[in-house]
Structure 1
């Protein structure tokens, strides 16, 4: 049925195109819950922010212009990596960077974009977050980079985001917000929460003075420890 439908040019919903419909339905439900959780945690407000999740040979992204309270699992838009919408729906205007991140980073399963208060404040200053605290390593390196400003929904924004995310799990977007990556939605949320907390701490430290910055050597020690942080011992 799916192969014949494609030959005839019929657009079927992804639940019919792919066999594991229960997994897709669960993923849609998790995305809906995550959108609402981001609002509850204060990481997004109104219609700001969006989520993208890998789903086999395609990806799911939140719809355009929908508020968290109105969003339903069936609203999540399925897209091919070519940029074609599968079935129906209007994807988030930011779908390009979700597609490009997932396509270029096979270890990433979920992308969360927020307009959280402190991350956005520092992004509006185009300020990279230096290693003022060792937990900066949670974002994958010894800094949290800030990408230069680019218009939302453009390939330029996707390009500068990809560059800022090289060897990183998070970045700020100049005059815009934050992107957090994870193996799955739970992991990406943990990164987003940690980055927002770090941005709040850095902002607070700047109100008093210039915080002490850890050296490259000190951060390399932290990054080495983070490689096995939280893993169970074998044997």
Structure 2
């Protein structure tokens, strides 16, 4: 009996030792918690930020503005004197509007002149056949080598009687060379300025129905 108890007590003691390692004692202090070991290291997630894409700036090319080139060497149109000649040495023309009848005479002296609608500002001159009177002029005249002038003529000496005078187009130059010692004379008609005639030394006139210039 005694031996059985000893064995039984020993068995019981062994069982108690085994149980004390697996459970908590009722007397008080809790056993330390078991440590958890993670044998797999955490995976590292690498995030790669794609490089920023740079959109090339768009450039707008404005069309270049080129000023038009003008030809400054354009030769003025020259009228054919033969179209305006009456008797030898006498050349007649009108303005395109017909307001002025003009002529160039190349004889012993070179003379150019016109009859027409002169401006009201034209100076009054001696009346033809009445030198003591002052009248509106009916003629403008240039004798080469002297200043141009207004005058009153008793007859229309620059009117063509044997035919109809040919109009001198705007911008065309009628150039009549001198004869002997006389200067040549050049005439032209401008749409705004009117009729102009000059000699080779700078004397001349420009006249329209609104303005004039004597040189």
TM bucket (normalised to shorter chain) is: under 0.3
Q: Which has the higher strand share?
A: 2
Which protein has the larger Cα radius of gyration, Structure 1 or Structure 2? 2
Q: Which has the higher helix share?
A: 1
**TM-score (normalizing by structure 1):** 0.19
**TM-score (normalizing by structure 2):** 0.20
